[in-house]
């Protein structure tokens, strides 16, 4: 066991290739003989989660082993970092791991392809730490992620071209694989921070139960690390990829150049056409747009005539034609809008000039047909040849508006009493019903109405009225004193 007096974490992040070599060797040379673990940060963002937690630059106090972090975006230097590293940190999203895309385990393929040639520089087993970000336990458990990682590594290993002097026969002989998960920083911020803190302690805290470097594991002496880095610095950079040019590729490239040059000529003509067409309706818009379209296609055909009718040129011409039509379609729609307003304005003027008459409905129907025919005739002139455009939607919207206005005009005349339809009219009738409440318990004689079936009732004995001259009504005289109220009356 090697006892180290001081522990340091060195994080160097550079942009240009090979710059990390002198910086890293210079920093390690000043530390004396200590245990060093070179950590290669890989992934689409260079293990940004761990790098942001440990620090972006400078020297930080760490555990019992010095950590030299290399975060390289350059493919050549990243492969050298993997070859010289003791720990490889590969960061990816859970979705990329599940889908097996280009940003999954497959990111290691170009790095391992070159690192295998330098395997003899540091043949001891390395640690591959796969950090899965945006982890969701409901979608995939930790065991599922570990199984997917193992399957992805096996597939990547099978695709590699192994050097003859490579001693490793499987990916298991190269790496000890561990998988760590980090929840989403957006939807589970507290869990993400806690997981990131626990992951950083595995690199820096010797007292942690999951410390990665107990008893100098996954580390070498500083002198051995310096020697390995010096050997990597002497490696020649990766040569640029050379592809044998194919006739189809050259034809497609030449057709793209011709299309780009023709597009500049088309852009000038389109700007002039928009300047004329945007403010108001342009009756000859279709002719001008068709002329511009045909001129550009003819110029393109002339430029690619020497290439022949290969499929790449045919596809380029089809795409260029679609590009031109898309650019012309916007001013075409604006012209249809101007035409709608023009036809609607003329219809409104003619409708206002109509006088109330018995033929007003027939006259408005004729105006609707006239407006629709006028729109169809003028809209057809806006179409560019071979464009395949349609104006059915604008026509239907205009006709619906015109019919609504004509119906409103006729109804207004009817309400004002200025027009009555010749046919299809209806006479308004006021109908009312009155119902007397029934008597559920019958009626008495006083409230019993007279019905047609009721029999008349009368008294057969009638005393004839007598006059005063005979023995009829006579006045009865009374003593006035009896009309005075006395106290005897209450006795």
Regarding whether 134 and 160 lie in a shared domain, the answer is yes
- The CATH number of the domain where 37 resides is what? 3.40.50.300
- pLDDT band for 46, please (50, 70, 90 cuts): low
Is the same domain home to 78 and 198? yes
pLDDT at 414: 84
Domain boundary among 358, 391, 415: 415
State the pLDDT at residue 9. 38
Give the whole-number percent of the chain exceeding pLDDT 90.
Answer: 15
Give the other-Cβ count within 10 Å of 214's Cβ: 14
Give the mean pLDDT of 73-102: 77
Same domain, 220 and 327: no
Asked if 224 and 257 sit in the same domain, the reply is: no
**Digit-coded pLDDT (tens) for 122-143:** 888 888 888 888 888 888 888 9
141 belongs to a structural domain: yes
Residue 432 covered by a domain: no
Q: How many domains does the chain have?
A: 2
What whole-number distance in Å separates Cα of residue 52 and Cα of residue 69?
12
Residues 274 and 404 occupy one common structural domain:
yes
Position 448 in a domain: no
pLDDT recorded at residue 14 = 31
Instruction: Give the dihedral sign, CA 294/298/299/301.
Output: positive
Q: Is residue 483 predicted with pLDDT exceeding 70? A: no
Looking at the structure, tell me whether residues 255 and 225 fall in a common domain: no
In a domain, 444, yes or no: no
Q: Select from 372, 362, 356 the least CA-distant residue to 414.
A: 356
Whether the predicted pLDDT of 49 surpasses 60: yes
Domain boundary at 351, 383, 415, which? 415
Evaluate if residue 211 carries a pLDDT over 70: yes
Q: Does the structure show a pLDDT above 70 at 108?
A: yes
Q: How many CA atoms lie within 13 A of 466 on its CB side?
A: 8
Least confident of 7-11, 180-184, 383-387, 433-437: 7-11
Q: Is residue 219 domain-resident?
A: yes
Pick the most confident of 121-135, 307-321, 393-407: 393-407
Q: Quote the pTM value.
A: 0.47
For residue 209, tell me if it sits in a domain.
yes
The residue range of the domain holding 89 is 8-233
Instruction: Give the residue from 356, 390, 415 where a domain finishes.
Output: 415
Provide the pLDDT for residue 376.
93
- Helices 222-233 and 20-29, packing angle to 10 deg: 160
Tell me the Cα Rg of the chain. Answer: 51
pLDDT of residue 18: 42
Same domain, 333 and 373: yes
């Amino acid at each position: 066991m090697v006892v180290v007096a001081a522990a340091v974490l060195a994080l160097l992040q550079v942009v240009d290739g090979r710059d990390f070599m002198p910086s890293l060797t210079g920093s390690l040379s000043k530390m004396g003989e200590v245990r060093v673990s070179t950590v290669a940060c890989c992934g689409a963002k260079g293990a940004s989660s761990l790098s942001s937690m440990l620090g972006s630059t400078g020297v930080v106090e760490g555990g019992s082993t010095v950590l030299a972090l290399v975060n390289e975006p350059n493919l050549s230097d990243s492969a050298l970092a993997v070859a010289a590293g003791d720990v490889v940190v590969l960061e990816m999203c859970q979705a990329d791991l599940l889908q097996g895309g280009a940003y999954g385990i497959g990111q290691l393929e170009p790095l391992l392809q070159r690192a295998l040639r330098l395997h003899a520089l540091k043949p001891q087993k390395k640690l591959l730490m796969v950090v899965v970000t945006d982890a969701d336990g409901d979608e995939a458990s930790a065991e599922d992620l570990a199984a997917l990682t193992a399957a992805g590594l096996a597939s990547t290993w099978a695709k590699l071209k192994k050097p003859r002097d490579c001693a490793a026969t499987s990916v298991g002989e190269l790496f000890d694989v561990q998988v760590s998960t980090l929840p989403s920083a957006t939807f589970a911020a507290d869990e993400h921070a806690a997981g990131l803190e626990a992951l950083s302690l595995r690199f820096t805290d010797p007292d942690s139960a999951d410390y990665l470097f107990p008893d100098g594991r996954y580390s070498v002496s500083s002198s051995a690390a310096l020697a390995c880095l010096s050997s990597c610095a002497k490696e020649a950079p990766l040569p640029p990829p050379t592809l044998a040019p194919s006739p189809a590729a050259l034809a497609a490239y030449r057709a793209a150049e011709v299309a780009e040059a023709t597009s500049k000529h088309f852009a000038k003509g389109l700007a002039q056409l928009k300047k004329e067409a945007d403010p108001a309706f342009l009756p000859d818009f279709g002719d001008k747009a068709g002329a511009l379209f045909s001129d550009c296609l003819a110029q393109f055909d002339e430029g690619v005539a020497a290439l022949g009718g290969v499929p790449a040129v045919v596809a380029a011409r089809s795409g260029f034609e679609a590009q031109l039509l898309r650019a012309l379609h916007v001013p075409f729609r604006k012209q249809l809008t101007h035409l709608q307003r023009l036809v609607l304005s003329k219809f409104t003027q003619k409708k206002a000039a109509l006088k109330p008459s018995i033929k007003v409905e027939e006259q408005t129907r004729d105006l609707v047909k006239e407006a629709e025919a006028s729109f169809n005739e003028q809209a057809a002139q806006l179409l560019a040849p071979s464009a395949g455009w349609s104006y059915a939607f604008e026509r239907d919207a205009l006709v619906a508006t015109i019919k609504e206005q004509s119906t409103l005009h006729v109804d207004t005349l009817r309400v004002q009493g200025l027009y009555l339809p010749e046919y299809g009219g209806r006479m308004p009738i006021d109908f009312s019903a009155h119902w007397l409440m029934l008597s559920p318990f019958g009626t008495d004689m006083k409230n019993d109405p007279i019905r047609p079936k009721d029999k008349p009732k009368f008294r057969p004995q009638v005393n004839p009225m007598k006059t005063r001259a005979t023995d009829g009504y006579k006045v009865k005289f009374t003593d006035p004193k009896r009309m005075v109220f006395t106290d005897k009356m209450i006795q």
